[in-house]
């Protein structure tokens, strides 16, 4: 039996682009959790009066890139990644992002997105966290 090709999430990073002509990506520091994108494809009802065996027929519709949810240890002194993300959220602007996976070939998922939610979590007995939700705009691309 072949050995597994699975890898740990430890070491995966989220990067935010600066929007420049030759775009530079900066790590959003101290990533704790990351999920998504939760991509889906809509369906279009194409049923007609002569559909076979009186069953509905569907066509593949428009794809939706879904959302990315993530949390970080809040670092108010991070003037690069976290500050850039919050500035983008407050300005309600779309920008480019990268998820760099921790596997040995460093696969990258690149996408455009809009921050649709951000909140701080301040537990009494834990670290202060910044939670972000990013709505993917357009088609993400995975480079392996």
Single pTM value for the model: 0.86
CATH number of 13-143: 4.10.410.40
Sequence ranges of the domains in the chain: 13-143
Q: Measure Cα distances from 68 to 20, 38, 104, 135 in Å.
A: 23, 7, 23, 7
Query: pLDDT, tens digit, for every residue of 21-31?
Result: 899 999 888 89
Mean pLDDT check: name the lowest of 30-39, 80-89, 113-122, 123-132.
Answer: 80-89
Closest-CA residue to 88 (of 67, 112, 66, 69)? 112
Beta strands in 1-144 (DSSP E): 13-17, 25-27, 31-35, 40-45, 58-64, 67-73, 94-100, 108-121, 129-143
Query: pLDDT, tens digit, for every residue of 90-103?
Result: 888 899 999 998 87
């Amino acid at each position: 039996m072949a050995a597994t090709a699975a890898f740990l999430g430890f070491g995966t990073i989220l990067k935010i682009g600066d929007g420049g002509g030759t775009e530079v990506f900066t790590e959003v520091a101290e990533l704790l959790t990351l999920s998504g994108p939760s991509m889906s494809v809509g369906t279009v009802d194409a049923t007609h009066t002569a559909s076979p065996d009186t069953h509905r027929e569907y066509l593949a519709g428009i794809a939706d890139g879904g959302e990315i949810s993530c949390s970080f240890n809040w670092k108010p002194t991070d003037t690069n990644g976290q500050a850039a993300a919050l500035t983008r959220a407050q300005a309600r602007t779309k920008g480019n992002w990268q998820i760099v996976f921790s596997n040995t070939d460093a696969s990258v998922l690149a996408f455009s997105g809009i921050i649709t939610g951000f909140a701080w979590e301040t537990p009494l007995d834990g670290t202060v966290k910044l939670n972000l939700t990013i709505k993917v705009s357009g088609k993400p691309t995975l480079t392996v």
